[in-house]
Amino acid sequence: MDILSFMTIMIAYMIVPIIATSSISVSESLRDGETLVSKGGQFELGFFRPGNSTRHYLGIWYKQLPMQKVVWVANRTNPINNTFGILTLSTTGNLILSQNETSVWSTTAEKQAQKPIAELLDSGNLVIRNQGETDPEGGAYLWQSFDYPCDTILPGMKLGWDLRNDFERRITSWKSPDDPSPGDLSLGLVLHNYPEFYLMNGTEKYYRIGPWNGLQFTGLSDRKQNPVYDFKYVANNDLNYVPNKDEMFYSFTRKNSSLIVSVSVDQYNFVISMWTEDSWLLYSITPADVCDKYGFCGAYARCSVDNLDLCQCLIGFIPKSPQQWALSNWSQGCVRNIPLSCNNSQVEDRLFVYRGVKVPDTTHTLLYETIDLELCRTMCLNNCTCTAYTNSDISGNGSGCVMWFGDLIDIKLFYTGGQDLYIRLAREELETSNREASKGRNKSVITIATTTAAAISGMLLFCIYAIYRVRRRIADKSTTKDNIEKHLEDMDLPLFDLQTIVIATSNFSSNNKIGQGGFGSVYKGKLADGQEIAVKRLSTNSGQGITEFLTEVKLIAKLQHRNLVKLLGCCVGGQEKLLVYEYMANGSLDSFIFDKIKGKLLEWPERFQIIFGVARGLVYLHQDSRLRIIHRDLKASNVLLDDKLNPKISDFGMARSFGGDQIEGNTNRVVGTYGYMAPEYAADGQFSIKSDVFSFGVLLLEILCGNKNRALYHENKTLNLVGYAWTVWKEGNALELIELRIKESCVVSEVLRCIHVSLLCVQQYPEDRPTMTSIVQMLGSEMELVEPKEPGFFPRKASCDEGNKNEISSNEELTVTSLNGR
């Protein structure tokens, strides 16, 4: 360091320093190691080093939290390389951050400074004001950090537009935990005629929060009311017609001022969380599911996670590419089955209403807030380019009008919430279905007229027959119940009285419900002796009937292994068919590995233990048990964890057993779960112990990556998890698969071996896959492994969620209840 630089630093250090105060004036400075603390002790301003970085930044963080949570960074793109950073306030009212006499960051105050002072407020807002002037709305501030948010919105901060000055406030993720410079993900308000917030990944639309509909953002319609914060949205009635309005923004306030709430964008999601005693409690994370991904189903299609096929064409539309649609590549969307007839003055188009949806992308819309829905309908039908319309404000009885022009993109169907959307269809499209219904009605009238006399004359005979059938049904039920109980007694399995289970589960109280699947619900219960149980209550209208019920009981009753869930007994009473299992305190594996908060509890040693445990359980099923059993539905939700995180395979309703040396079979009734099925089983119904091996390989990848096979998105949007793993393996970059949360705790050699084994498991042809016995040996030794071949269902020109080509099921057999103790 030369003499001039040294003297400059020494002179700067001679400026009177301040420590643990809330403000600095022109005569004061803030150096590395010193901080400003807001008057109420809520926030702190100072220099920090993020993560493992050696670079220094000026930032603001929560003062009272044991772990540092930075909410604002001044010099995001220009870090300081040593501890010689100095923050000063100029006479012109601007903060200057410098290093070695070189400015690395500064503010630009637009108002005239008289006697400036910089102060950190208890709101987390760093402001510059003239001494003696305060304004909670910021009107008297020369400059404020709230106008320049980073990755976090604090209560009272505005996210949106200052239309007076054409100035936007948006939040942008950090590039990484070690680098606060702007990352790829950002959240901002786009000023369409019907404005809405977008989560952007670079320049690509990643997720829509949806427009404000008077009650909430339509993309968040299914979110439950929370006790922590309130949303507020301030906007023009319509930019084209109310030019005197000058702001449009989003903000939130806390219902309890003592709560610490974080609303931020990380490298992957938009996250809302609250600080508890020692950690952040996640309230919501967006995107929440695959249907939140922008345009996942393409144009004129709706997405619903409650459907077996996630994407379905809207009424009156058909897949643009039926072949790709059959392969679950939905990105090309749908097209009209019958063109609109608006150019024909003799024919008028009609409208079909969808209930409970997230309205489409609003890029091409017109908004009229002063007209009602009936006039909106007329205007849409009179405009040949109008494709849909709805209310712009659904509070009260609904008001306003928004009309769409062009393709309808990014529609999501909600189970609860959402709003009505009126979609324009050709008249013939609706008349076709109406005509079919009309034919049915006419035929019914004729039938009724011609059979009235016969019906009256046969009434007496019918009554006699009905009495007979009732008596016969009662007898059949009694016989069926007796047969079931006889089967169960032959298995030497405890039979629970129905009243015992009703008492244990508080009459199947919703508060005791811990799981839901295609075959029914799962309830937590406690027996009179204090033993906790999990009760699987088979739905009366589920696909699992007596056959599946007895199958599950027969198989699990004969199985005893530390990595299989233990069946304690069962109960048959009236219409009830109940299975009573040991209660698993830590629930299902999927609730950990796919959850950003709970996932931190499973570091690499625990995950490796779970992998081994599942593998040993499958070895027992395939080889060591009295019956050779193929599970046929191995997945993360069917692996339960006890209080010590030991894994136990559950749900044997779809399992098949064999005797002797038989290891495979064939069926016309393919059941299982999308994303885990082996290709030969999904396509041809051929299942074997190698089908379970394939499922184990998928599960192994999910444990390593923390992502679902169907939910991972590669940058080119063509790969599911299996395809992505194969790609990075061939490129020599297999370590990219490791989830960030376990990178520090993982043993690299063990992880690489697990990745290698997983790819051997998911190979296209069954004969190439190893047995579970070989897999246990591979995982527990350093034996040399063969090079894997291309996996089954490896996507080429398909969507990242492409799974099996022929997922065959006539009901909800692809959804299976898991006995988890959430």
Query: Which ranges of 24-180 does DSSP label H, i.e. alpha helix?
Result: none
**Dihedral angle of Cα 342, 348, 353, 359, to the nearest 10 degrees:** 20
* Alpha carbons 381 and 404: distance in angstroms, whole number: 12
In whole angstroms, what is the distance from residue 453 CA to residue 599 CA?
70
Pick from 588, 581, 543, 590: which is nearest to 702 by CA? Answer: 590
Angle between helices 748-761 and 604-619 (to 10 degrees): 40
Alpha-helix residue ranges (DSSP H) falling in 233-316: none
| Of residues 349, 456, 358, the one with CA closest to residue 416 | 358
- Specify whether 633 is catalytic: yes
The helices-and-strands tally (H runs, E runs) of the chain is 15, 46
CB 8 within 8 A of CB 22: no
Closest Cα to residue 410, out of 222, 270, 208? 208
CA distances from 638 to 235, 246, 534, 545, 654 (A): 47, 54, 14, 20, 12
**C-alpha separations of 338 from 226, 311, 425, 438, 814 in Å:** 45, 20, 8, 21, 33
**DSSP codes of every residue in 737-773:** GS-HHHHTT--HHHHHHHHHHHHHHTBSSGGGSPPHH
Rounded distance between C-alpha atoms, residue 426 and residue 435, angstroms: 14
Helix/strand/coil (H/E/C) assignment for every residue in 130-164: ECCCCCCCCCCEEEEHHHCCCCEECCCCCEEEECC
Contact 111, 126 (CB under 8 A): no
The DSSP element (H or E) to which 562 belongs, if any, is none
**C-alpha dihedral, 303 to 305 to 308 to 310, nearest 10°:** 30
Cα-based torsion angle of the residue sequence 226, 232, 238, 244 in order, rounded to the nearest 10 degrees? 170
Residue 623 DSSP label:
I
Q: Is 536 annotated as a binding residue?
A: yes
Strand 196-201 vs strand 567-573: parallel, antiparallel, or unpaired?
unpaired
443 residue type, one letter: K
Instruction: Burial-class residue 257 by CB neighbours within 10 Å (0-12, 13-18, 19+).
Output: exposed
What is the C-alpha to C-alpha distance for residues 340 and 350, in angstroms, rounded to an integer?
9
Write the CB contacts of 178 (distance below 8 Å, at least 6 apart in sequence): 50, 51, 52, 53
Return contacts of 665-673, CB within 8 angstroms, 24+ apart: 665/630, 669/808, 670/806, 670/807, 670/808, 670/809, 671/632, 671/633, 671/809, 671/813, 671/814, 672/632, 672/633, 672/813, 672/814, 673/633, 673/635, 673/814, 673/815, 673/816
Give the start-end residues of each E strand in 63-101.
70-73, 85-89, 95-99
Q: Which residues pair with 167 in a beta bridge?
A: 162
**Which of 311, 209, 361 is closest to 801 using CA atoms?**
311
CA 255 to chain centre: 26
- Write out the DSSP string of 601-615: G--HHHHHHHHHHHH
> Quick check: 46 and 66 in contact, CB under 8 A?
no
**What is the CA angle 61-64-70, rounded to 5?**
15
- Residue 66: CB atoms within 10 A of its CB come to 9
Question: What tokens were used for 509?
Answer: 């109280």
Count CA atoms closer than 13 A to 677's CA, side-chain side.
26
> Of residues 238, 633, 651, 801, which has the active-site annotation?
633
Catalytic sites, residue numbers: 633
Annotated binding-site members for ATP? 536
Annotated binding-site members? 536
